[in-house]
Structure 1
Amino acid sequence: MKLKFSPLSLLIILITLCNCQNDDHNSELPHDTAFYIDYRSLNGLPDGIAVIELDPEAPNFGSISSKLELGVGVLPHHLYYNQSANKLYSTALGGSYLYQIKTEKDKNGQPKLVNATPIDTGENTVGENLFFTNDGRYLMTFMGGAGGPKDGSIGVFNANTNQLIKTIKAPIQTNPNQFIMYPHGISVNEEKGIMMVTSTIHPDLTTGMGNTCTLLDLNTYELKETYLVADSPTDMSSPVEVLLLRGKFPQYALATTMLGGDIWTAPYNATTKKYDAFTKLFDGNTLGLGWTLEMYIDDNSRLYVSFADPGKVLVFDISNLPQLKLLKTLTADKGAHHMVFFKTKKGKEVVAVQNNLLNIPNLNSGTISVIEIETGKTLGTVDLRGKYGILPESIEGTNGPSSYMHH
């Protein structure tokens, strides 16, 4: 039997086939490879947020298509989506410390930055990390607290209204065994009803440093334990990020030490409902690595860790914790920090690494490296310092979170 098609039917079939090919290469959404970056100006101009194309195969690779200025000295620092990925936020080291960012799409479906609404953080200063819970809260670390030399706080916000519900404070002066000081990293295990924050460094980077992580009850906000995450009480290792593994992953806490240059871990104890003591799992110094920063985990139990000095991303297998198996080392630039994961138009799996840490000398390349994960080859580099006179501070997807698990 012969099949007969009208010209219109053939046209529809051809369009469908074209769309199927586009689906294979993730190009049905034109901004799959465009990303938001927080940035600081190097020329005394306002800091802000930008949209940048990061697919090295795109003709506009490295081009900024939209910018939103927040103000001089605002220093936007970390970008986050809420639980349903329909609201975008940026924390900041200056300015109002926290902003909700309004975005929309232009006539071509490309992401466009519209405006930023400051959120009242009360007495809390120097905004760092956010964590959104399933019950309508978000938690935010404030490395500066109310501004004291040994301060620091956690803000609890209503995720619907952005209203500050509570400020959690626990000064080291009150209890040197259980305290919150210079909190930066935060992670939550909602199933276990716990959260943990790091004690990193005073915002001026000189007044004081930390070497602990503190565990709190997620619902009562009571402190449960403060853990040493350092070789000794006098080792100011500056734990910067913490990740409470959850779901299908081994039930451990992971922490990176900024000045220690290491990865630490602590197993969850079902009897005490806390974690046991932290032990060093990976010593960066043995491989000439320092300034350990961010942690990301993919769906296949691979852990990606950035080392700002000399600018590397190490990939580990965490399926057999506390054994940590090094799988590969990816080369970025000095200041290797935040990451996003995506596929290029041709289907290559890549990680884009934002290379800058607070404009600290020798850790402030001001670039974004796009690296093919399988081969380790750098497919492209965007020089934001040279091209735009800005430094990237953080990076996030324009279609929602661009990583499987981060905090």
Structure 2
Amino acid sequence: MSKLILISLAILLFSGCGDASKTSRTATIDKTETSSKATIEQTTTQNDAINIEETQAMVLLSGLPTLGTTDSIAIIEMDPDSANFGNILYDYPLPKLDAPMHHLYYSPNGRLYATGLGSQCSLAEIDLVRNAKAEPIISNFECLNTNGQNVGEDIMWHNVNGELTMFVTFMGGSDLTQIDAGTVGVFNAQTNEVIKIIEARKSQVEAGQPYIMFPHGISAYGDRMVVTSSTHPAIATEIGNTITIIDLNTLEPIETIVIEDAKPVGFPSSPVEVLFVRPSIVEGVEPAILVNTLFGFETWKVPYNEKTKTFNTPEKLYDGATAGTAVPLEFYGNEDELFISHGVPGIVKRYDLKQLPNLVSSGEDIKAESGAHHMIFYKTAAGRKLIAVQNNLLNLGDAKDNDPTDVDFLVKLNHHSVTVHDLLTGERLGEINFKEKYKKGIDNIEALFGSGFTHHH
């Protein structure tokens, strides 16, 4: 996998071109057909019956080279028992940008945001509203002012001194040419204005002092926030192997911790996503940080002493190089389990939530497809509990396939699908392949209006 860095960075130069594909209901913005912004609570039908929108999801779709398709945000039907399963119910074309949008996030008060992998639109707010027929539509897509910060990745909302604050990691920081780029943007959660840019370049701080590089994952508990150091988005040789602790009282970094052991592909570990396990997730838990390492193939635990506000020696909990998995990506959870996606071979591992911060298996792996990445949890109209897994990582495809729509790589990580599984048994109940059905790739999936989402980061 020695070409992983070069290939993964190539996606930042990639964007779709051509005409938007036709769907059953295309996006039309009527300024008279707007309503209040969507709240995170799920709406119901007039008779308080089963809410059909609970089986619908929002997806970020990207146009694929040579197929004449463009980037969009779509609403799709996810109930495998429905005749509309896999159909796009609504499609909103996105403007042509220098790189695709990457993640969708709902704020605690229900506002919808997206981060982007380029410089033209690294952070955006999306107005998800209802028209006069109570149908969900997008009335506006607005790229936000980041004060020059590039390549947005993860978003987190956290109370700081009694005020809800939005934090965004920018892997490219304020200047992509910096070999140690990367910033954390602090935004007013109401106005979206930049309050502060947290920046501590390794070359600019004294030896031994904490620094921030290529921040990706982000999580927080109390007055301590953690960000990971993954990979430079434009300079292929620069890869991180640390996490950095930020004091939320001062909004300054206070400690950088190395998270690395073996190097199964010869690169630094590249910590990617992070989850601060805390009492709001598991009652009475001893707080700790969980970290996935992209190129280390591992999951780590960093215990936290809440009384002294200190972090103990990192412990490796899972070794993918010996277990036969690679590219661990996301942390997601519901009321009972923690789920971790592994892009190779394309599985989701599941763990007992009550046993955190240790990883105790709660069932068989969910067998998804190559590039297993984001996920949502929901119920069918009949009440069956499901998990849907989005299978795609930066459109990386096996170079041997000689497919002009791929970013060439040594293994396939772009199945371009969502697989739907019974949550209890893991049985696959359905699959939507967006490349075959719509000639597009899928970059992210979230539940419509935030239903079914429990915790992430």
Q: Answer yes or no: same fold by TM over 0.5.
A: yes
On the 8 A contact 1:48/1:76 being kept in 2, the answer is no
- 2:295 pairs with one of 259, 275, 300: 259
Which structure 2 segments of 5+ residues have no match? 1-44, 398-411
Residue 143 of structure 1: CA displacement? 0.4
The answer on 1:388 being equivalent to 2:423 is: no
Identity %: 38
Q: Secondary structure at the match of 2:396?
A: coil
For 1:305 and 1:188, the matched residues in 2 are separated by 19
Per the alignment, residue 114 of structure 1 pairs with 139
The answer on 1:299 being equivalent to 2:335 is: yes
Per the alignment, residue 273 of structure 2 pairs with 241
Residue 108 of structure 1: CA displacement? 5.2
Per the alignment, residue 221 of structure 1 pairs with 251
- 1:274 pairs with one of 292, 299, 310: 310
Are residues 102 and 343 of structure 1, via their aligned partners in 2, closer, same or farther at CA, if it must alter by over 3 Å? same
Which amino acid in the other structure matches residue 200 of structure 2?
Answer: A
After superposition, where does 1:79-228 map in structure 2 within 5 Å?
79-85=104-110, 87-94=111-118, 95-106=120-131, 109-134=134-159, 135-146=163-174, 147=176, 148-175=178-205, 177=208, 178-189=210-221, 192-204=222-234, 206-228=236-258
On the 8 A contact 1:130/1:138 being kept in 2, the answer is yes
On the 8 A contact 2:267/2:295 being kept in 1, the answer is no
On the 8 A contact 2:57/2:76 being kept in 1, the answer is yes
Residue 48 of structure 1: CA displacement? 2.4
For 2:122 and 2:57, the matched residues in 1 are separated by 22
For 1:215 and 1:280, the matched residues in 2 are separated by 19
Are residues 32 and 321 of structure 1, via their aligned partners in 2, closer, same or farther at CA, if it must alter by over 3 Å? closer
On the 8 A contact 1:50/1:113 being kept in 2, the answer is no
Deviations 1:5-59 (A, max 9, x none): xxxxxxxxxxxxx988x74xxx2x2311111111211035432211111111111
Are residues 71 and 348 of structure 1, via their aligned partners in 2, closer, same or farther at CA, if it must alter by over 3 Å? same
After superposition, where does 1:250-399 map in structure 2 within 5 Å?
250=285, 251-300=287-336, 302-321=337-356, 323-327=358-362, 328-361=364-397, 362-399=412-449
How many residues in Structure 1 have an aligned counterpart in Structure 2?
A: 381
Residue 321 of structure 1: CA displacement? 4.1
Residue 218 of structure 1: CA displacement? 1.4
Residue 390 of structure 1: CA displacement? 1.2
Residue 337 of structure 1: CA displacement? 0.3
For 2:446 and 2:86, the matched residues in 1 are separated by 15
For 2:154 and 2:165, the matched residues in 1 are separated by 14
Q: Secondary structure at the match of 2:361?
A: strand
For 1:259 and 1:402, the matched residues in 2 are separated by 30
Residue 274 of structure 1: CA displacement? 2.6
On the 8 A contact 1:80/1:401 being kept in 2, the answer is no
Which amino acid in the other structure matches residue 279 of structure 2?
Answer: G
Which amino acid in the other structure matches residue 297 of structure 1?
Answer: G
The answer on 1:76 being equivalent to 2:101 is: yes
Q: CA RMSD in A?
A: 2.0
The answer on 1:52 being equivalent to 2:82 is: no
Residue 402 of structure 1: CA displacement? 3.1
Segment drifting more, 311-320 vs 152-161:
311-320
Which structure 1 segments of 5+ residues have no match? 1-17
